[in-house]
Chain A
């Protein structure tokens, strides 16, 4: 049976299985209907022109895992940011693992979506925010909405500065031959509040996984949110990450995406401005090889005056891999004095690697500063020569240059331990010892 049919037919069973209030029932039904009409996106659609899901969808994915799996902390310790204390929301095959997690209700809520959806005390927050910013037309987001049951729920009250980062990690154990999971995260950051979040999807063996996740982030007045996504999964894992961020006035949100692993990775990152003097930052490093595909699809919707957005995506592609960047800046008529900047730099290391880029500007206001730059090139030969002359082996010289290339993004990571971790992953990915730590 095709995955689409399988999902549609299991929807009824799914609804019966979880006892949810009727309000959500309508949302789910509308969402599954939208998915039923549109199905999985194909290359014929403009938004998916360069990314095909066909090969991924051929696997016979299990939609509901039959087994409950447990994993030992020591086996997965390396995936945690274990050097420092963090809040942790951990899921194994889509199910919450209380053993690995460290949640809290003390002054702030770091807990579960399932709890938030079912308990009356969260009803007001859920009614106000759940599925409000997520695109109701987008088919994969709808699919996630229809099956939304579990994920991280984070609510930071007014003026709370969260003293330690929050880690959200989804493990898949590979107990099933092929597994599809659809986590749903809701993050509400109150006025003047400040939070740092790290999200990661990790499979533990080579059985294929398809993750279709939706994250909604609401940054209220003057809130500061730093969001880091680490995508360094095994070659059998596929990730479709849909992130929707709504910003109120004077809030600052930054999203860093580090894409090193996985088979097909698609990042739909959407920023919507709902106030003045907002600052949005979107940065990413992509280093891929083999037959990997990483597709960044970003949208910054400038709707109010005096807002800024900064985008900087670096991509290094080797072997037969494909890097895609599709960045859209949309400036509405009202959004005067917008300062929108977008940069996309790519390096191709092999002749079979492919880069597709489409930096888009749609501008309806006249007093704006919008620019984008996109380059595709190679490593500077004279710089290589200079280093080799001074006794640095070719491989290291190359790695140094690539590190320098991505440094602009690395240096804006605000958690030192994470910065170190990313540097290490990059060194590992490039197969060298950089000989220095940051």
Chain B
């Protein structure tokens, strides 16, 4: 048996090229670089938005102009020049496609390379895909099946046209325009995204899924996702991302808002695999995302994320547990390699009585990467019998990476029960030895250990996604996941 050590693994990881690094050559219609009120107006006009939406965007832009970029996160990078980015880019052929045959074959090819060809997806019953390619929704499948149940699943620009009352009521209700620097920027310039509404008492029969891709060089991607689960409904939403290899840093500032009304449940799963930059730390996507969910009485929101990509990640999916008995959950695996930096975690804001939250975070750092968990558990004065359990574990591979934990716990109620634990460890020589002893080769042993380490979170992913997640883990930690 060839001796496979952690060093070999490290070498292999470093040499691993980004598998999804290709670039689709489709003529794009791109706005001139820079951002001002005219650009905001132009984006809004381009999308044929009603006046209230234009005003809403302008309000966000004005707030953004007064804000400064946050610097508290444990990440270091060259700040993007917000005036050098083009804020709108759309594949030029804007006609609506009647069938897949009319879609640009090159585009279809892109999806094939990603392993999510529409044909295949169509056959794989149960998954409807709303594909976002450089900001504009190109194709939506399974819309009909959903429509029968009264479920609205479309791009947000379509929703603005066709369901303005829903959009106007809920957009910005969880993440206000002025929430933070990136949320304000997104509110001003978002070009597209997904919209989902589940009516009262409906259990969505399939997993809803969106694939995001950043394609055109030098463009930013600003999606806006809005998911509304009406009383007593249930939805499981999947979001997955891959981006092609590019040298200049690309900016990604998305906003996701979830609203779970009384007794509703939303399960939101993400697999993020944006281009992480090459092994010298050049290039890669800046991922600055604001995700937040609001839980009314008895509602439940569950975030599951697998973060393997991006040069810089800044992401804190949060739950505002407003209603009594509501539940928030956060399950995360963050893998960083080479020069990647991740500052991710969650916020659980307990406002209602008997609210419960669970946080399980697993960080794996390899190469020269930095991986931070930053979380807030806040118990309000009126949140009686609130309960929180947090666990954040870090696994370090090699001696050039770092793992950090910044948990904030703020309690104003004497009946609250809060537990927090964190551990940091490496793959123990004794663990590997134990496996070797029993005839398991080192490579398999490492795979076993990493798998076991992240199992708690992988188990939370929907079936269809779990396979994909393991595939993406492989890309980041090839050789360690069998």
A-to-B contact residues, CB < 8 Å: 46, 50, 333, 336, 346, 348-378
A366-B397 in contact (CB<8A):
yes
Residue of B409, B424, B425 with highest tally of chain A CB at under 10 A: B424
A368-B424, A372-B422 given; A363·B409 CB < 8 A: no
Whether A360 contacts B421 in the complex (CB less than 8 A), given A365-B399, A378-B414, comes out as no
Contact B418 A377 (CB under 8 A): yes
Question: How far is A425 from B205 in the complex, measured between Cα atoms in Å?
Answer: 64
When C-beta atoms are compared, the residue in chain A nearest to B395 turns out to be A366
Q: Which residues of A contact B417 (CB under 8 A)?
A: 375-378
Q: Are A354 and B402 in contact (CB under 8 A)?
A: no
Output the nearest chain A residue to B411 by Cβ-Cβ distance.
A355
Do residues B404 and A372 form an inter-chain contact, with CB atoms below 8 A?
Answer: no
Closest 7 CB pairs of A and B: A366-B396, A348-B414, A376-B418, A357-B409, A374-B420, A366-B426, A361-B405
In the complex, which residues of chain B have a beta carbon less than 8 angstroms from the beta carbon of A367?
426
B398 touches A366 (CB 8 A): yes
In the complex, whether B450 has a CB less than 8 A from a CB of chain A is: no
CB under 8 Å from chain A, chain B span 219-253? none
Most chain A CB within 10 A, of B72, B381, B402, is at B402
Distance in angstroms between the alpha carbons of A358 and B374 in the assembled complex? 10
Residue B408 is within 8 A (CB to CB) of chain A in the complex: yes
A349 to B411, CA, bound (A): 12
Question: Is the CB of B437 closer than 8 A to any CB of chain A?
Answer: no
- Asked whether, in the complex, the Cβ of B406 is within 8 Å of the Cβ of A358, the reply is yes
Main secondary structure of the interface of A (DSSP, over half): strand
What is the CB-to-nearest-CB distance from B53 to chain A, in angstroms, rounded to a whole number?
35
**B424 & A361 in contact (Cβ 8 Å cutoff):** yes
Q: Say how far B410's CB is from chain A's closest CB, in angstroms.
A: 5
- Chain B residues contacting A351 (CB-CB under 8 Å) are 381, 412-415
Residues of A with C-beta under 8 A to B418: 374-377
0/1 string, B433-452, CB within 8 A of A gives 1? 00000000000000000000
Interface string of B376-411 (1 = CB under 8 A from A): 000001000000000000101111111111111111
Residue in contact with B414 in the complex, picked from A353, A356, A372, A375, CB distance below 8 Å: A353
Give the nearest-CB partner of A354 in chain B.
B412
Q: How far is the CA of A378 from the CA of B416 in the complex (A)?
A: 8
Decide yes or no whether B419 CB sits under 8 A from chain A: yes
Question: Closest CB of chain B to A315's CB: distance in Å?
Answer: 11
**11 A-B contacts (beta carbon < 8 Å):** A348-B411, A348-B416, A350-B414, A354-B412, A358-B409, A361-B394, A364-B402, A371-B423, A373-B421, A374-B421, A375-B417
Bound CA span A367–B431, Å: 13
Q: Once the chains bind, are B420 and A362 in contact (CB under 8 Å)?
A: no
New contact pairs (17) apart from A348-B411, A376-B416, CB-CB < 8 Å: A50-B410, A333-B400, A348-B414, A351-B412, A354-B410, A356-B409, A357-B408, A358-B407, A361-B394, A362-B402, A362-B404, A369-B424, A369-B425, A371-B421, A375-B419, A376-B418, A377-B417
Asked, given contacts A356-B409, A374-B420, A375-B419, whether A363 binds B414 with beta carbons under 8 Å apart, the answer is no
CB-defined contacts of A361 to chain B, threshold 8 Å: 394, 403-405, 422, 424
Task: From known contacts A363-B403, A364-B402, A366-B426, infer whether A376 and B409 are also in contact, taking CB-CB under 8 Å.
Answer: yes
* CA distance in complex: A360, B409 (Å): 11
Least distance between A319 CB and chain B CB atoms (Å)? 11
Q: How far is the CA of A329 from the CA of B381 in the complex (A)?
A: 30
CB-CB nearest in chain B for A351: B414
A59 CA / B396 CA spacing, docked (Å): 50
Closest to A49 in B: B408
Closest to A328 in B: B406
Q: Which of A350, A354, A363 has the most CB of B within 10 A?
A: A363
Indicate if the CB atoms of B422 and A349 lie closer than 8 Å.
Answer: no
A52–B81 Cα distance when bound, in Å, is 36
Q: Which residues of A contact B396 (CB under 8 A)?
A: 363, 365-366, 368
**Beyond A361-B403, A361-B404, A363-B424, is A374–B414 a contact (Cβ under 8 Å)?**
no
Expressed in whole angstroms, the minimum distance between the Cβ of A329 and any Cβ of chain B is 9
Q: Which residue of B lies closest to A359 (CB)?
A: B407
Q: Which of A354, A356, A373 contacts B420 (CB 8 A)?
A: A373
Q: Which residues of B contact A363 (CB under 8 A)?
A: 394, 396, 402-404, 424
Check B415 against A378 for contact (C-beta < 8 Å).
Answer: yes
CA distance A110 to B411 in the complex (A): 44
When C-beta atoms are compared, the residue in chain A nearest to B397 turns out to be A366
Q: What residues on B are CB-neighbors of A356 within 8 Å? A: 408-411
Q: How far is the CB of B420 from chain A (nearest CB, A)?
A: 4
Task: Please report the C-alpha to C-alpha distance between residue A377 and residue B419 in the assembled complex, in whole angstroms.
Answer: 8
A46 and B72: CB pair below 8 A? yes
